[in-house]
Amino acid sequence: MSQLKIYNTLARDKQVFVPMVPGKVGMYVCGITVYDLCHIGHARMMVVFDYVYRWLRASGYEVKFVRNITDIDDKIIKRAVENGETLSSLTTRMIKQMDQDLGALGVLPPTVAPRATEYVPQMLSIIGKLEENGLAYKGEDGDVNYAVRGFPGYGKLSGKSLDDLRAGERVDVNTGKRDPLDFVLWKSAKESEPAEAKWDSKWGMGRPGWHIECSAMSCALLGEQFDIHGGGMDLQFPHHENEIAQSEGAFGHQMVNYWIHNGFVRVDNEKMSKSLNNFFTIRDVLKEYDGEVIRFFVVRAHYRSPINYADSNLEDAKNALTRLYTALADIDLGPDAPQVDWSEEHAVRFREAMDDDFNTPLAIAELFELATKVNKTKSAVDARQLKALGNVLGLLEREPQQFLRAPVGDAGALDEARIAEAIEARKAAKKARNFAEADRIRAELTAAGIVLEDKPDGTTNWRRA
């Protein structure tokens, strides 16, 4: 039986995964700052750590998966003020929309979804420990800062040395800091900010900095040291680097055993950016593509590789997923949810792929091998195995016709009743040997994105193109 190996960003190597407590895993993933709709970069991160979560559970682990929600932040305050609404109104609405978007992508809820505002006392406690340890100080402007040069391990996750870092490089420079590399732990309250963005502390009224939020939530829910911490590659520095400095500076020992970072999403081979007008929300993409197509687009790439968002790549993902569902379409799978036979050859190779740093491209290849076999044999046993293995990755969870006939978006799609009427009319036209009318109906359906599957005994099935 293969052993799970994970590429540990901290070690810069693939390592055998050994949890701190046998049979149990604690995993923390940095979630969303809820001031706006989620974009496709968020979609990738969420889907990646969803299938990591699923694979750990499929491997027999009891997983406590914590994915936080940042509901206090400069961007949130700015957006709420611009909208003329309270912070809680904005964040509650954005969380609801985030949950809807992630549901469309088949992302399971985490075990715990803590909100930063619920853990301010824990944040203040850690800041107090850092101050006692000589790693935090109050600046002249009232902010409490972390003294980066006082922590010898700073830079070990990102590989950046202090000498290479320059003031102004992703680091705020203000007069309240002793060193421009220091970062804010507690921001002094400003008169212009709303009351709900202010908490009392021994350093005065204020609110937490972004980095301290995750140190506090992960410690409160998983302990001072835990198994896995994940997030996008863009968070490696400075966010995750600063988390390490905070947690290890406060508690005096290692924070996380395995760091996992997923790669970037590019758009037509360019960096996604609002200024380039190539910035897409999940909702934008769901108007054109089924949520499972977006999920499949993410899953079939290795999580550490960059992926390129382009219409051609989404179309290719759609066609590939359609092939898998089509293989299952005419086979009676029975009433019960299929279970994976892990001794079967495709499942053995699937497991080996997933245990090799979550190598989903190779795992997906086994699904297509199985689909080819199903197309030849029409075996219900093979079809159930295909569906069960797909389910491990959050794929093929619907009835085939639910996917194949699902309309995407809400504009102009023919409903199923209208399609059924057209198929019956075409059948009647062919029976009356009015082949011109039959061809006209077929062309009309084709133009509306409906693919008819004709067999010797007539049109037995249809799907949306």
217 vs 86: CA distance, rounded Å: 24
Residue 433: left if φ>0, alpha if ψ -120 to 50, beta else—which one? left
Residue 239 in marked binding region: yes
Residue 38 in marked binding region: no
Residue 455 in marked binding region: no
For residue 21 the two structure tokens come to 């407590």
The torsion angles phi and psi of 437, rounded to 5 degrees, stand at: -65, -40
Mark 339-352 as b/e (b = at least 16 C-beta within 10 Å): ebeeebebbebbbe
Torsion of CA 296, 299, 302, 306, to 10 degrees: 60
Q: Which of 251, 309, 248, 245 is nearest to 282 (CA)?
A: 309
Paired residues of 450 in beta bridges: 464
254 vs 259: CA distance, rounded Å: 12
19 vs 196: CA distance, rounded Å: 40
CB neighbours of 390 closer than 8 A, spacing ≥ 6?
324, 367, 396, 397
C-beta separation of 172 from 74 below 8 A? no
434 vs 440: CA distance, rounded Å: 10
> Count of H helices and E strands in the chain?
15, 15
47 vs 294: CA distance, rounded Å: 9
How big is the CA angle at 80 (ends 169 and 176), to the nearest 5 degrees? 35
Q: Can you give the length of the chain in residues? A: 465
**Radius of gyration for the alpha carbons in the chain, expressed in angstroms and rounded:** 26
3-class secondary-structure state, position 26: strand
Residue 243 in marked binding region: yes
Owner of token pair 């062919």: 430
Annotated binding site for Zn(2+): 30, 214, 239, 243
Binding site membership for ATP: which residues? Answer: 274
Residues placed in the known binding site = 30, 214, 239, 243, 274
